[in-house]
Structure 1
Amino acid sequence: MVLKSKGTGANFLIEETDAAGVLTPEDFSEEQRMFAETTLNFIDKSVAPNDKQIENLDYDLTVNLLRKAGALGLLGADVPESFGGLGADKVSSTLITESLVRGSSFSLSASAHSGIGTLPIVFFGNKQQKEKYLPDLASGTKLAAYCLTEPSSGSDSLSAKTTAKLSEDGTYYLLNGQKQFITNAGFADLFTVYAKIDGKDFSAFLVERSMEGVSFGPEEKKMGIKGSSTRPVILEDVKVPVENLLGEPGKGHIIAFNILNIGRFKLAAGALGASKEAIRISAKFANERKQFQRPLSSFPLIRQKLADMNTKAYALESMVYRTAGLIDDSLKDLDYSSPDAGLKSAKGMSEYAIECSINKVFGSEALDFVADEGVQIHGGYGYTQDYKIERIYRDSRINRIFEGTNEINRLLIIGTLLKKAERGELPLLRKLGTLESEIHDLLQKKTGDGSLQPEAYVVSSAKKILLFVLGLAIRKYDRQLQLEQQVMSHLSDMIIQIYAMDSVFLRSMKRHEKLGQEKAENGLDMMRVFVNEGIEKIGCLAKETLAHIEEGDSLLQRLAVLEKLTRRVPIDSMTVKKRIGKRVAEKESYSI
């Protein structure tokens, strides 16, 4: 099931969203749930028993398992049926990505292949390229990799030094350069390689492993994800046929940035799956491990940890599937065989670039938190390789670097928001013009008698605070705001927190209406904790930002407004967290 959600990207900041139009896990169809079940069964039966060999970088085993996954349709969910795939919706492919994570490093090999490895052709390939490559990629007969990063260009990808020169007869491009940290490089058959034609026009090429001049550096010795292949790809006078140019010359940035958007979103889905796995094994350990003649899970501080871990995962899950619904709606009418499919898909994906970056930052940092607390619950055992939580902890660290560092994504969130406003794609500036009266109206409102009304008021206040501080920052810096990275980062952190709070609130409200008080109680408890802690974070970020951009009486006046907007009656979060933690321990897994 895919529900329509009105509005465009980042609209959540300036308009109230109808909970009925937000996709949540409670809306999944049986068919969508089957994708998750099939994936988990495959991981449990085929991947988990071979965990040690995979972690020792057994290429042949990984490739064999990828072929099996392809035969089950797990690699071709995003590939249109007309080109050999399943043509599934984004919710289904997101469920596959989330479920694969139980397979540790194998999930990275599979996700890199089916995501950033295959999607450039799905979205931007011409008919001939799709017919030639997609059926084999969907089945796992051929495997793919994505080559963007170079030794001297990571975040600044457009400064790439790999070059492409058209031959005199116009039949091929000669590629020279080196790509760094390429996932699946040890066994991939096809590489999407970015290079500059004549050293200036950033473009994408489909390079086959068998092409003369393609070679590889040694495997990187990594902190985590040890079972995935990560090697340099070296290109020395590689003759790439002109028909393997992906998209138009000089338009490689359109492909790169939009594929990264999807990659960021899929990374968040993977972080969700890993968070749930960390909660499961930590709750199980806490029930089995006894100290002072009591299970660890009976101690309030352990229950608090389980509650915080579970609440973070609940927020991430709410965000991920809300975003999946938005992307699905944006791409639902796309004809993949059409010549302009690339431009239309780019428009559809870029619409929610902000939400994709939000998911990536929140998801990677939520998983780090959950993994860290999981190690703490395990105590000394969590620091040993005999327990899976140790590997989850190590594997999680790369996510804050993958798909654009979190620092870059924070700058992208607010930078993209300002560009959308300048282009008239989002009525942000008009909203800022009416903000003073809206703040006045909000402060006059009473929270009402309904059980969910206080949190609705808090979420609305959070949005007003962001717009209030953003308006002052724009007034002070104007176009120079892009140079104020600390201010930009604080504003982005507020936006991230607001999307999370809004998603959690809307989902919990929807669950409450659909399931009733008793069945929705745990979600309501987590929502109240998350929203109340969230407004505290936003208040601190706003205060620090105001202190930087204002001074004297003006600062005092702004802080007075901020104090009113953050004022609320605190909840008894200690008691609420004890309830949440108890439920997690009893279920011995992620609990909603």
Structure 2
Amino acid sequence: KTKAVLSKDGKHYLISGQKMWISNAGFCKLFIVFARIEDDKNITGFIVENDPANGISLGDEEKKLGIHSSSTRQVFFNETKIPVENMLSERGSGFKIAMNALNIGRIKLAAACLEAQRRVVSEAVNYAIERKQFKTAIINFGAIKAKIAQMATNAYAGESASYRAAKNIEDRIAMRLEDGNSHQEAELKGVEEYAIECSILKVAVSEDVQQTADEGIQIFGGMGFSAEAPMESAWRDARIARIYEGTNEINRMLAVGMLVKKAMKGHVDLLGPATKVGEELMGIPSFETPDYSVLFAEENEMIAKLKKAFLMIAGSAVQKFGTDLEKHQQILLAASDILIEVYMAESTILRTEKNAKRFGEDKQQAQIAMAQLYLYNAVDVVIQKGKEAIVSFSEGDEQRLMLMGLKRFTKYTNQPNVASLRELIADKVANDKGYTFD
């Protein structure tokens, strides 16, 4: 609602309005302010110096659930004079600037959440080593090992996916620079081309850090509920991550929505592979038993099948609803959860496969176990969310065929021993006295 009006002499814009939830407002020297000039359809960005004498005032510090060390205040503008040359980029380009800032902010948020996860895992492990119950350190109990293993696995998966996307972005920026793009354009476009991955990471890692902090409290027991112990603030601080940089609901819908839009523009072939998956379902399945003696042979096969499950569901939904798919948010959310799990699981396997070749499988046993455990959990999510989507937009023979396909695409030949995987991971983390896989 903030407005910018050009002064009569044409030398300044007068900005009036208010902004909420402004981080660092209390001590920053410079604002980037978005405002609407007159009745423009699109907003415009301005560079504004924080000068109280120029019609700028601040609200009190917000009393927040968490991140108490972060200053958050309202900012009020009352005919604040801004030189016309302080317009950021061009008139009406503010929304694009804001979106580009959000794209890079999402992968940066994932990195911040990863460090929080690593700290929480290490704090929880060391407490579990010291805490004795029935004359035994609780780190030796299976129930605690299961929690530690899952916490470490989620952090490892988040790292794998974050570094994968960051490297992709870095390579794309370098390629654009070689093609003659300016540094600014190369960075903007490089990040923009991986906006889907940035949204995936924002959702996955922000939810994992909350779950990790929650389990950290549980491991600490009664002490976890005390503000004197580190888990209480970790849990509160984690909660905002699912809200800022775009809520997780928005990012889930964006991830699939952006993919569908790319397909509609011909930038990505979504319907072609989806049609092939449909044809595969109508054919006779192969009964050959592949060679699973190679590391991750079955896991890579499973990733390929999970991608088919996504293509089957997303492709059918696009064919049914077309551009109206964005109105069916529950289907978008279910499809997005499948997309997220496939990307995270594949990233974890790719990282571990690479490091097993570099350092030897014997030195990557815990990492191999984490990749297998994450995929096992991902398959469960795909089954649940896939069924939820299928029964929500199909019926009759089409529904029966898709449910049969979902079952085929999520079937293991050799189920992993989940308890053994957790034991191996937890023992490694306990022996290292914290998270050391980074």
TM-score, structure 2 as length reference: 0.95
CA distance in 2, matches of 1:522, 1:250: 52
Aligned residue number for residue 577 of structure 1? 422
Task: Name the SS of the counterpart of 2:54 in structure 1.
Answer: coil
Flag the 1:311–1:195 CA change in 2: closer, same or farther, 3 A.
same
Q: Which residue of 1 aligns with 2:202?
A: 360
Q: Is the 8 A contact 2:176 2:190 kept in 1?
A: no
Aligned to 1:447: 290
Q: C-alpha separation between the residues in 1 aligned to 2:306 and 2:240?
A: 31
User: Whole-Å Cα distance in 1 between the matches of residues 417 and 6 of structure 2?
Assistant: 68
Q: How far apart are residue 538 of structure 1 and its match?
A: 0.4
* CA-CA distance at 1:520 after TM superposition: 1.0
2:47 maps to: 206
Would the alpha carbon gap of residues 445 and 549 (structure 1) be closer, same or farther in structure 2, given more than 3 Å must change?
farther
The 2-side partners of 1:510 and 1:474 are apart by 35
| SS in structure 2 of the partner of residue 415 of structure 1 | helix
Describe how 1:75-474 pairs up with structure 2 within 5 A: 161-200=1-40, 201-210=42-51, 212-332=54-174, 342-437=184-279, 443=286, 446-448=289-291, 449-474=293-318
Contact 1:193 1:204 in 2 (8 A): yes
In 2: Cα distance, 1:451 partner to 1:222 partner: 48
Match of 1:61 in 2: none
Assess, with a 3 A threshold, how the Cα gap between structure 1 residues 387 and 470 changes in structure 2: closer, same or farther: same
Partner SS for 1:332: helix
Q: Which amino acid aligns with 2:32?
A: T
Instruction: Flag the 1:443–1:274 CA change in 2: closer, same or farther, 3 A.
Output: farther
1:439-483 per-residue CA deviation (whole Å, 9 max, x = no partner) reads 669855633132311101111111000000111111221221110
CA deviation string 1:296-316 (max 9, x = no partner): 101111011100000000000
Give the conservation status (yes or no) of the 8 Å contact 2:14–2:81. Answer: yes
Q: Secondary structure at the match of 1:222?
A: coil
- Return the match for 1:517 from 350, 356, 361: 361
Aligned residues: 431
| Structure 1 gap segments, 5+ residues each | 1-160
Partner of 1:492: 336
Contact 1:410 / 1:493 at 8 angstroms: preserved in 2?
A: yes
* Identical columns (%): 38
Give the root-mean-square deviation of aligned CA atoms.
1.8
In structure 2, distance between residues paired with 1:253 and 1:465: 35
* Contact 1:265/1:359 (8 A) holds in 2: yes
Offset from partner CA, 1:477-525 (integer Å, 9 cap, x none): 1221110000001111111111101101111111111111111111100
* Partner Cα separation in structure 1 for residue 399 and residue 68 of structure 2: 51
1:163 Cα deviation (Å)? 0.9
Q: Distance in 1 between matches of 2:356 and 2:140?
A: 28
Relative distance call for 1:344 and 1:583 in structure 2 (3 A) is closer
**2:225, 2:211 → 1: CA distance?**
16
Cα pair distance change 1:438/1:166, threshold 3 Å: farther
Distance across 1 between alignment mates of 2:274 and 2:287: 19
CA distance in 2, matches of 1:282, 1:251: 47
* Whole-angstrom CA distance in 2 between matches of 1:340 and 1:549: 46
Counterpart code for 1:527: A
**2:376 alignment counterpart:** 532
For 2:80, give the aligned amino acid: V
Task: Give the drift of 1:213.
Answer: 0.7
Structure 2 Cα separation of the partners of residues 438 and 339 of structure 1: 43
Q: Distance in 2 between matches of 1:514 and 1:340?
A: 36
Whole-angstrom distance in 2 between the partners of 1:363 and 1:266: 11
Which string of whole-angstrom CA distances, capped at 9 and with x for unpartnered residues, describes residues 109-133 of structure 1? xxxxxxxxxxxxxxxxxxxxxxxxx
Cα deviation code 1:85-107 (max 9, x no counterpart): xxxxxxxxxxxxxxxxxxxxxxx
- After TM superposition, give the deviation of residue 212 of structure 1 in Å: 0.3
Q: Tell me, yes or no, if the aligned pair for 1:164 and 1:199 is still in contact at 8 Å.
A: no
Task: Give, in whole Å, the separation in 2 of the partners of 1:585 and 1:242.
Answer: 60
Residues 264-295 of structure 1, C-alpha deviation per residue, up to 9 Å, x if partnerless?
Answer: 11000000000000001000100011010000
1:332 Cα deviation after fit: 2.3
The 1:230/1:426 distance shift into structure 2, 3 A limit, reads: same
Q: CA deviation at 1:434?
A: 2.6
Q: Tell me the secondary structure at the aligned position of residue 170 of structure 1.
A: coil
- Provide the rounded CA distance (Å) in 1 between the counterparts of 2:286 and 2:174: 41
**Alpha-carbon distance between aligned partners in 2 of 1:193 and 1:538, rounded to the nearest angstrom:** 42
SS of 1:195's equivalent? strand
SS of the equivalent of 2:364 reads helix
Q: 1:441 to 1:253 in 2, by over 3 A?
A: farther
TM-superposed deviation, 1:562: 1.5
Contact persistence 2:274–2:308 (CA under 8 A): no
Structure 2 counterpart of 1:563: 407
Counterparts of 1:260 and 1:243 in 2: how far apart (Å)? 25
Q: CA deviation at 1:318?
A: 0.2
CA distance in 2, matches of 1:164, 1:344: 30
Query: Which residue of the partner structure matches residue 541 of structure 1?
Result: 385
Q: Report what 1:506 is aligned to.
A: 350
Question: Per the alignment, in what secondary structure is the counterpart of residue 174 of structure 1?
Answer: strand
Residue 328 (structure 2) pairs with residue 480 (structure 1): no
SS in 2 for 1:427: coil
Measure the CA separation in 1 of the matches of 2:216 and 2:255.
30
Structure 2 vs 1, CA of residues 445 and 545 (structure 1 numbering), >3 Å: closer, same or farther? farther
Change (3 A) 1:451 1:330: closer
SS, match of residue 522 in structure 1 = helix
